[in-house]
Amino acid sequence: MLLIEEKYKPIAQILLSAETCPRCILRFCCVGSPTLYRLPYKDLADELQKFLVLPHGGATDENNAPPSKKVRLEDTDGCNIESQSSREIKHSDSETPKTCNLCLGILQHLCNTEFVKKISHKVKSAGYEFKDFVFSVSLPAQLLVREHSAWLHTQQEMRKQGRLLEKSDIIQLKEAYKWIIQPMISDELGVQAVSKSMFEVGVVFCHQETNEDCHFLATVCKDCFKPTKNKQSVFTRMAVVKALDKIKDNDFWIQFPWPPYSPKTTCEVVDIQCNHASVFVAGRYNKYSRTLPQTPWVIDGERKMESSVEELITEQLMTVFKADSFNFSSSGREDVDVRTLGRGRPFAIELVNPHRIQLTAQDMKDLQQKINSSDKIQVRDFQIVTREAVAHMKEGEEEKTKCYSALIWTEKPILKEGLEVLDNSKEVKLIQKTPLRVLHRRPLASRCRVIHTMKTEYVDEHHFRLYLKTQAGTYIKEFAHGDFGRTVPNIGSILKTTADILELDVESVDVDWPPALDD
């Protein structure tokens, strides 16, 4: 029993005579029941015939009169059977119906078991781990033009009867297609299709034969079709929607008369894509080497150091998660010659398009252990986190404090007592001009930073160790040597000598993220 509202009967008749497929007819008759779209194609065609022929329970108005339009149907020989009376409509036994002029065959030939098997084969062979999936479909832009044409035409027809047909009432092709194909793919893959999932299966269609359908729009609305970077064609769906919104009905009809011709070919599948949303891994790292940069150090295409913190951590991760690429971020960074001690520096790694995602806490522990076999770095609190949590790491970074220890050299000999001035200084405000050493990559600016506390440890008359607690973002090296007067005050100016920094270690980064884990 077909659930098309009686008032939409004229639409069904118009579209049937225009050789539109039964499923597209359902869409334009605003049928919102997915099960009807899932009926076998032939059964649906039969049902539709019955609906158009048989008068409905007791109604007597003109809606039930035989259609005034001739209804053409294809027979096995490809000839048209024309019938004045709807009672004479016979369903065609033709095995392959003519390609629909609205969906270009998508609701006819691209939602069958064979095609679903093709999709599921592609997904399975891609080797992803997923517990559900979201299905997406990319349609050729010219479908919008054909859809618009059918809407304008049927809307006119409805208006004659004093009824409205809003474009938004029509079931979108995308939606109907998903209703049919999603449960089938779901069965094949053995997991549910949901509206939001980390794993996406996407099908991309194109249709060469009708590609030029939307070209006339460019003459009507030049502004809508400006060349953009990375786009092969200016006729994007967005641009076409915009142009269709602007074009006057009459102009449209002149350029694109009703009905759109039925194409010889069906839409082509350009691609079946799989993509898994990024997975984020966080932790804290210690760096014990003074010859290890945080990220690969490349100058003029030439590698300066053989490894980096980033590589030592991500190499293992990439192998285990089978990701396409990664993005490394951390709470601040240290220079190549600076060690990071204490509980380490928080970091997060985005693994892009990971194929493996089901890792247990134990798996993560094992992974951490593998990374820790290096003597250059050590990681802890290694865990999978959410994208939102990563944002916490960057939040309020400026307000955080960092603790350092430095080995300082002074030109003039010093006494232990001479260092008390540093021990007694609290909340020392610095003005730091962008250091000379980073001026090539950062704009020249002056910024204010605070050294909260200092503690000294006398080594000999030219050396002492300095422990500092500072505002994040303070240039410590420049505070030690003064950077040719670009940081004031500095240790040299305070001790009235020339000072330099020989070694620097980060003792702690006071960001309490990610959460500590038991080891």
Can residue 11 be called a binding residue for Zn ion (CB under 5 A)? no
Question: Which range touches Zn ion (CB under 5 A), out of 99-107, 290-298, 320-328, 456-464?
Answer: 99-107
Nearer Cβ to Zn ion, position 104 or 320? Answer: 104
Question: Which range touches Zn ion (CB under 5 A), out of 98-106, 131-139, 179-187, 428-436?
Answer: 98-106
Least separation in angstroms between CB 21 and Zn ion: 3
Measured between alpha carbons, how far is 473 from 450 in angstroms, rounded to an integer?
A: 10
Measured between alpha carbons, how far is 1 from 451 in angstroms, rounded to an integer?
A: 80
Can residue 103 be called a binding residue for Zn ion (CB under 5 A)? yes
Question: Which range touches Zn ion (CB under 5 A), out of 93-101, 203-211, 215-223, 475-483?
Answer: 93-101
Beta strands (DSSP E) in 308-368 are 325-330, 338-352
Nearer Cβ to Zn ion, position 26 or 451? Answer: 26
Least separation in angstroms between CB 31 and Zn ion: 13
3-state DSSP of 193-215: ECCCCCEEEEEEEECHHHHHHHC
Measured between alpha carbons, how far is 507 from 490 in angstroms, rounded to an integer?
A: 20
Least separation in angstroms between CB 8 and Zn ion: 16
Question: Which range touches Zn ion (CB under 5 A), out of 102-110, 234-242, 250-258, 316-324?
Answer: 102-110
Which secondary structure element, helix H or strand E, spans residue 124, and what is its range? helix 113-126
User: Strand order in 132-138's β-sheet?
Assistant: 192-193, 132-138, 199-206, 268-276
Least separation in angstroms between CB 32 and Zn ion: 17
Residue 397: strand, helix, or coil? helix
Question: Which range touches Zn ion (CB under 5 A), out of 96-104, 139-147, 315-323, 439-447?
Answer: 96-104
Can residue 181 be called a binding residue for Zn ion (CB under 5 A)? no
Q: State whether the Cα torsion 491-494-495-499 is positive or negative.
A: positive
Can residue 36 be called a binding residue for Zn ion (CB under 5 A)? no
Residue 413: exposure state from Cβ atoms within 10 A (0-12, 13-18, ≥19): exposed
Question: Which range touches Zn ion (CB under 5 A), out of 97-105, 131-139, 311-319, 432-440?
Answer: 97-105
Measured between alpha carbons, how far is 366 from 359 in angstroms, rounded to an integer?
A: 10
Least separation in angstroms between CB 173 and Zn ion: 8
How many residues touch Zn ion under the rule CB under 5 A: the total is 6
Can residue 506 be called a binding residue for Zn ion (CB under 5 A)? no
Does residue 383 contact residue 274 with C-beta atoms inside 8 Å?
Answer: no
Least separation in angstroms between CB 15 and Zn ion: 9
Catalytic residue of the set 169, 251, 335, 500: 335
Least separation in angstroms between CB 22 and Zn ion: 8
| Token reading at 262 | 């039925």
Residues 105-124 that bind Zn ion (CB under 5 A): 107
Q: Which of 4, 12, 15, 24 forms a contact with Zn ion (CB under 5 A)?
A: 24
Q: Nearest-5° angle of CA 41, CA 46, CA 49?
A: 125
Nearer Cβ to Zn ion, position 21 or 189? Answer: 21
Strand partners, 286: 378
Nearer Cβ to Zn ion, position 171 or 506? Answer: 171
Measured between alpha carbons, how far is 434 from 116 in angstroms, rounded to an integer?
A: 60
Least separation in angstroms between CB 187 and Zn ion: 23
| Token reading at 145 | 């033009």
- Residues 6 or more apart in contact with residue 248 via CB below 8 angstroms: none
Can residue 100 be called a binding residue for Zn ion (CB under 5 A)? yes
Nearer Cβ to Zn ion, position 214 or 267? Answer: 267
Measured between alpha carbons, how far is 423 from 56 in angstroms, rounded to an integer?
A: 97
Measured between alpha carbons, how far is 469 from 404 in angstroms, rounded to an integer?
A: 7
**What is the chain's alpha carbon radius of gyration, rounded to the nearest angstrom?**
35
Nearer Cβ to Zn ion, position 268 or 350? Answer: 268
Nearer Cβ to Zn ion, position 20 or 374? Answer: 20
In one-letter notation, the amino acid at residue 110 is: L
List C-alpha distances in Å: 165 to 2, 9, 28, 156, 159: 20, 13, 9, 9, 8
- Any catalytic annotation for residue 213? no
Least separation in angstroms between CB 105 and Zn ion: 7
Measured between alpha carbons, how far is 422 from 420 in angstroms, rounded to an integer?
A: 5
Can residue 180 be called a binding residue for Zn ion (CB under 5 A)? no
Q: Which residues are catalytic?
A: 335
**Residues binding Zn ion (CB under 5 A):** 21, 24, 100, 102-103, 107
